[in-house]
C-alpha cells in the first residue's frame, strides 16, 4: 500500500481516471486526496491549498466508496441528507435537497426505503447522491461500478459521464477495468507497483503506450521484442503492436503459423506464431477465419508499430 | 495421463445400514431437522420454560397467615403484598441498583470494547480477550470475598488512600446519605462497585461484537461527509452498537436484579429482590411471595425490552 514518486496534476472539471491492477497504489492515491491516509512524504494540494493535516471532514472533497458504505440504520433519504444533517441544516431543507438529489440520480420516491431494500445499482446511485449533496469541488470514486454486472455497469458509465458534464465537477475515478477508464475519462493515469507509469488522454495511452506494462495492461497489446524491432526499424527497443492493426493474408508479409483461434463475439482472436515472436490478431467476424495450423502471412502498416524507447515498465 | 471413466452412475454403498440411514435422512431433510431439534427443544420447553411456568402459577397462590400453609386458590393477593412499603422498597432498591450498575457498565465497557474492536490486532486482541474473560474463570464467590477485603476498613483501598493522604476524600464520600456508610464494604457504593466488576465482561463482549460488525468505511464515509469524530460517534457508531449495548444491558440488568450473594456479603443489610426470594422460599416458607418476587425481574425486563424495541434499538439488526 505504498506509493512512490507519484506526481499528478488533475485539472478542474476533469474526469480523471486512475487505472491499475490491484495493489498498484491507485486507491492509496485516492485515499490521500480524501484525507483517509496521511502522506509520509510529499503533499496533496486541493485547488491550490495544501491539505496536509486537514482531516477528511474539513476537505471539500467527497467519496463514493467501493462497496458504497451506506449507513444501514438510516433510510435512503437520511443517508443522502447525512452531509446536510451534519452541517446543521433544518430538517425540511435537507429533506427537500435530498429529494432533489434522489431525483437527479433517478431514484425519486425511494427515500423511505432502507439501503438493504435496494439493488446494487440503486445503492450505487444513493452513494453518488450522498456524496454530491455537499456540493464537493472534487468527487472521488473508488471502483464505484466494480460490484455491478456488465450491463448495469455500462449504463452507469454513461450516466456518470453525463452527470459529470452536467455538474462540471472534477471526478477522480479509480478502476482496474481498462475499458472503463478509456471510455469515461478525459485523462488516465496508469499505475503499477506504486508508481505512475503514464498520464495521458485515453487515445494517446492506447496508441502510444510508453512501456510494455502500459501496452499490456491497456488493451492487451502485442509486445514486439527488441531484437525483432531492431531488425525491422534499426532501433533496439520493444514496440507495441495493437492486435486490430495486424492483417492476416496469404500474400505479402511475415510467415506465421496459426496456433489458436478464440471466438469473442464481436471479433475473433487469432494467435499466430512468427519465427521471432507470438502475436495476437483481432479479426472481424465478417472476415474469413484461418484454421489452426494454417500457414499465413501477417502484415501491418509500419506507423502502427509503436516504439517504446524509454521503456520503464520492463522490470 | 488417462483418467479411468466411472462405469456406474451411482457409487455402491459399502457402509451397510448406517449408510442407508444417512441416505434416508438425506432424502427427508425435515425428518433430520426434527430429530436434531427434538432434544434441545424438549429441554428448553419442559425443563426451562416449564419450571418458569410452574413459578408463575405459584405466584398466583397465597399463604394462609395462621397455619402457614399454601392456599391453592387463584388470587392476586400475593402480588398485592409486593406493594406494601417494606416489599416495594426492596423492588425499588434492586431496580435502581440494576439501572445504575448498567449505566456505569455501559460507560466503562464502551471505550474498552471500542478499542478492542477497532484498534486491537493479533496479540493485543488476545490480551484483551484474556483480560475480559479471565475474571469469569475464577469462582464468583472468591471474587466477591476478595472485594470484601479490598473494600474493608482495613483493606488495601483504604491503605492506598491513606498513603496518598486522600482518606478525607473517602470519608467525605462515606458521609453521604444513602450511598455512604461505615466503610465501603457495608455501603451501597461497595455493592455497586462489586456488581460493576462482576458483570462488566457481560457488557464488554456484546458491545465489542456489535462494534466489530461496523465496517471501517462507515466511519470514513461519515468523516468524508463532514462529520467530526464526536458526530460520527453519535450518529453512526452508537446507533449501530445499540443492539450490543442492549444485549449487554440485559445481562447486567437482569443479573443484578436476580443476584442474592453480592448484597448479602457486601453492602448494608437491606434486602435486594434475590435475597427476598431466598428468605421467603427458605426460612419463611412463603413460596407464593417468593414466586411473586421472582416474577418482578421478568416483568421489568419485559418492559425494558419493549421500550428498547419501540425506541428502534433493534432496527440495525
Residue A176: how many CA atoms within 13 Å on its side-chain side?
10
Give the end-to-end CA distance of chain A in Å, rounded to a whole number.
19
Q: How far is B103 from chain A (nearest CA, A)?
A: 23
> Chain A: which residues have CB within 8 Å of chain B?
34-36, 55-57, 61-63, 65-67, 69, 71-73, 82-83, 85-87, 130-131, 134
Q: Could you tell me if residue A10 is left (phi over 0), alpha (psi between -120 and 50 degrees) or otherwise beta?
A: beta
Tallying the residues shown for chain B, one arrives at 317
Residue of A nearest to B314 (CA): A73
Please state the pTM of the whole predicted model: 0.81
- CA torsion sign for B39, B42, B45, B47 is negative
Q: How far is B207 from chain A (nearest CA, A)?
A: 17
Indicate yes or no: CB of A63 within 8 angstroms of CB of B227: no
What is the pLDDT, as a whole number, of residue A271?
92
- 3.40.50.300, 1.10.10.10, 1.10.10.60, 3.40.50.1820: which CATH number matches A15-214? 3.40.50.300
Q: What is the ipTM of this complex?
A: 0.84
Residues in A touching B215 (Cβ below 8 Å): 67, 69
Indicate yes or no: CB of B226 within 8 angstroms of CB of A86: yes
**Would you tell me how many other CB atoms lie within 10 Å of the CB of residue A289?**
14
φ and ψ at residue A267, rounded to 5 degrees:
-155, 170
Residue of A nearest to B231 (CA): A86
What is the pLDDT, as a whole number, of residue A313?
45
When computed from its CA atoms, the radius of gyration of chain B, rounded to whole angstroms, is: 27
Alpha-carbon gap, residue B112 to A143, rounded angstroms: 34
Residues in A touching B243 (Cβ below 8 Å): none
Residues A223/A314, Cβ–Cβ less than 8 Å:
no
What is the pLDDT, as a whole number, of residue B14?
67
Percentage above 70 pLDDT, chain A: 98
Q: How far is A60 from chain B (nearest CA, A)?
A: 9
Q: Which of B211, B214, B224, B242 is best to mutate for the A interface (most A CBs within 10 A)? A: B224
Alpha-carbon gap, residue A236 to A227, rounded angstroms: 6
Q: What is the SS3 string spanning chain A?
A: CCCCCCCCCCCCCCEEEEECCCCCCHHHHHHHHHCCCCCCCCCCEECCEECCCCCHHHCCEEEECCCCCCCCCCCHHHHHCHHHHHCCCCHHHHHHHHHHHHHHCCCCCCCCCCHHHCCHHHHHHHHHHHHHCCCCCEEEEECCCCCCCHHHHHHHHHHHHHHHHHHCCEEEEEECCHHHHHHHCCEEEEEECCEEEEEECHHHHHHCCCCHHHHHHCCCCEEECHHHHHHHHCCCCCEEECHHHEEEECCCCEEEEEEEEEECCCEEEEEEEECCCEEEEEEECCCCCCCCCCEEEEEECHHHCEECCCCCCCC
Q: How far is CA B278 from CA A14, B67, B159, B267, in A?
A: 76, 21, 35, 17
pLDDT digits (tens, 9 = 90+) for A43-82: 888 888 888 888 999 999 999 998 899 999 999 999 999 9
Q: How far is B302 from chain A (nearest CA, A)?
A: 24
pLDDT digits (tens, 9 = 90+) for B167-210: 888 888 888 888 888 888 889 999 999 999 999 999 999 999 99
Longest dimension (CA), chain A: 76
Q: Which residues of chain B have pLDDT under 50?
A: none
Q: Which residues of chain A have pLDDT under 50?
A: 1, 313-315
Residue of B nearest to A87 (CA): B226
A:B CB pairs within 8 Å: 63
Alpha-carbon gap, residue B281 to A303, rounded angstroms: 101
User: Which fold, A223-307?
Assistant: OB fold (Dihydrolipoamide Acetyltransferase, E2P) (2.40.50)
Of the candidates B210, B195, B200, B194, the one whose C-alpha atom is nearest the C-alpha of residue B133 is: B200
Q: CA angle, corner A21, sides to A16 and A27, nearest 5?
A: 55
Same fold, A15-214 and A223-307: no
Q: How far is A82 from chain B (nearest CA, A)?
A: 7
Residue of A nearest to B219 (CA): A69
What is the pLDDT, as a whole number, of residue A81?
95
Residues in B touching A57 (Cβ below 8 Å): 223-228
Indicate yes or no: CB of B240 within 8 angstroms of CB of A62: no
Alpha-carbon gap, residue B72 to B257, rounded angstroms: 28
**What is the domain partition of chain A in residue ranges?**
15-214, 223-307
What is the pLDDT, as a whole number, of residue B194?
94
What is the pLDDT, as a whole number, of residue B20?
84
Q: Which residues have C-beta within 8 Å of that of residue B266, sequence separation ≥ 6?
A: B144, B147, B148, B151, B185, B186, B190, B191, B194
- Neighbouring-strand partners of residue A239: A224, A307
Three-class secondary structure of residue B16 per DSSP: helix
Indicate yes or no: CB of B225 within 8 angstroms of CB of A134: yes
Q: Which of B213, B226, B315, B316 is best to mutate for the A interface (most A CBs within 10 A)? A: B226
Residue of B nearest to A70 (CA): B218
Of the candidates A239, A286, A293, the one whose C-alpha atom is nearest the C-alpha of residue A271 is: A293
Indicate yes or no: CB of B217 within 8 angstroms of CB of A69: yes
Residue of B nearest to A69 (CA): B218
Amino acid at each position: 500500500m505504498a506509493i512512490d514518486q507519484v506526481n499528478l496534476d488533475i485539472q478542474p472539471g476533469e474526469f480523471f481516471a486512475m487505472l491499475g491492477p490491484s495493489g498498484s497504489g491507485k486507491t492509496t492515491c485516492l485515499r490521500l486526496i480524501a484525507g483517509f491516509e496521511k502522506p509520509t512524504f510529499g503533499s496533496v494540494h486541493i485547488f491550490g491549498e495544501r491539505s496536509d493535516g486537514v482531516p477528511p471532514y474539513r476537505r471539500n472533497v467527497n467519496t463514493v466508496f467501493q462497496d458504497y458504505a451506506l449507513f444501514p440504520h438510516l433510510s435512503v433519504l437520511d443517508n443522502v441528507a447525512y452531509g446536510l444533517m451534519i452541517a446543521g441544516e433544518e430538517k425540511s431543507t435537507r429533506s427537500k435537497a435530498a429529494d432533489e438529489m434522489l431525483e437527479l440520480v433517478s431514484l425519486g420516491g425511494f427515500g423511505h426505503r432502507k439501503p438493504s431494500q435496494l439493488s446494487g445499482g440503486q445503492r450505487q446511485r444513493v452513494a453518488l447522491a450522498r456524496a454530491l449533496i455537499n456540493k464537493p469541488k472534487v468527487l472521488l470514486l473508488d471502483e464505484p461500478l466494480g460490484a455491478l454486472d456488465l450491463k448495469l455497469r455500462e449504463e452507469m458509465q454513461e450516466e456518470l459521464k453525463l452527470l459529470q458534464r452536467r455538474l462540471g465537477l472534477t471526478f477522480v475515478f479509480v478502476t482496474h477495468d481498462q475499458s472503463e477508464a478509456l471510455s469515461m475519462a478525459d485523462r488516465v493515469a496508469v499505475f503499477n507497483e506504486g508508481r505512475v507509469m503514464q498520464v495521458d488522454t485515453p487515445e494517446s495511452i492506447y496508441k502510444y503506450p510508453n512501456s510494455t506494462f502500459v501496452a499490456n495492461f491497456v488493451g492487451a497489446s502485442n509486445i514486439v521484442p527488441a531484437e525483432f524491432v531492431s531488425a525491422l526499424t534499426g532501433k533496439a527497443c520493444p514496440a507495441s503492436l495493437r492486435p486490430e492493426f495486424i492483417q492476416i493474408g496469404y500474400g505479402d508479409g511475415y510467415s506465421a503459423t496459426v496456433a489458436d483461434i478464440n471466438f469473442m463475439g464481436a471479433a475473433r482472436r487469432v494467435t499466430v506464431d512468427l519465427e521471432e515472436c507470438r502475436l495476437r490478431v483481432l479479426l472481424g467476424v465478417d472476415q474469413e477465419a484461418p484454421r489452426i495450423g494454417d500457414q499465413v502471412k501477417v502484415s501491418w502498416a509500419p506507423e502502427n508499430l509503436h516504439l517504446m524507447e524509454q521503456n520503464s515498465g520492463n522490470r | 495421463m488417462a483418467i479411468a471413466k466411472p462405469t456406474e452412475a451411482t457409487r455402491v454403498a459399502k457402509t451397510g445400514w448406517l449408510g442407508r440411514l444417512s441416505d434416508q435422512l438425506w432424502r427427508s431433510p425435515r425428518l433430520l431437522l426434527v430429530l436434531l431439534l427434538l432434544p434441545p427443544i424438549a429441554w428448553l420447553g419442559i425443563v426451562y420454560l416449564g419450571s418458569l411456568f410452574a413459578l408463575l402459577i405459584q405466584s398466583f397462590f397465597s399463604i394462609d397467615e395462621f397455619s402457614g400453609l399454601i392456599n391453592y386458590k387463584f388470587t392476586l393477593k400475593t402480588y398485592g403484598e409486593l406493594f406494601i412499603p417494606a416489599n416495594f422498597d426492596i423492588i425499588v432498591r434492586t431496580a435502581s441498583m440494576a439501572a445504575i450498575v448498567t449505566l456505569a457498565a455501559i460507560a466503562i465497557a464502551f471505550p474498552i470494547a471500542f478499542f478492542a474492536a477497532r484498534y486491537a490486532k493479533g496479540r493485543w486482541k488476545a490480551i484483551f480477550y484474556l483480560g475480559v474473560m479471565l475474571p469469569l474463570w475464577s469462582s464468583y464467590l472468591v471474587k466477591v470475598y476478595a472485594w470484601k477485603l479490598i473494600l474493608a476498613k482495613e483493606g488495601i483501598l483504604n491503605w492506598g488512600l491513606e498513603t496518598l493522604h486522600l482518606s478525607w476524600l473517602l470519608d467525605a464520600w462515606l458521609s453521604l446519605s444513602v450511598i455512604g456508610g461505615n466503610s465501603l464494604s457495608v455501603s451501597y457504593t461497595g455493592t455497586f462497585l462489586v456488581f460493576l466488576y462482576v458483570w462488566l465482561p457481560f457488557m464488554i463482549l456484546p458491545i465489542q461484537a456489535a462494534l466489530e460488525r461496523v465496517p471501517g468505511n462507515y466511519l470514513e464515509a461519515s468523516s468524508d461527509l463532514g462529520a467530526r469524530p464526536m458526530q460520527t460517534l453519535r450518529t453512526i457508531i452508537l446507533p449501530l452498537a445499540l443492539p450490543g449495548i442492549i444485549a449487554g444491558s440485559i445481562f447486567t440488568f437482569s443479573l443484578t436484579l436476580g443476584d442474592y450473594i453480592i448484597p448479602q456479603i457486601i453492602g448494608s443489610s437491606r434486602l435486594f429482590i434475590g435475597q427476598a426470594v431466598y428468605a421467603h422460599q427458605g426460612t419463611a416458607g412463603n413460596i407464593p411471595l417468593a414466586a411473586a418476587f421472582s416474577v418482578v425481574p421478568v416483568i421489568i425486563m419485559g418492559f425494558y425490552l419493549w421500550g428498547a424495541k419501540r425506541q428502534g434499538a433493534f432496527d440495525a439488526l
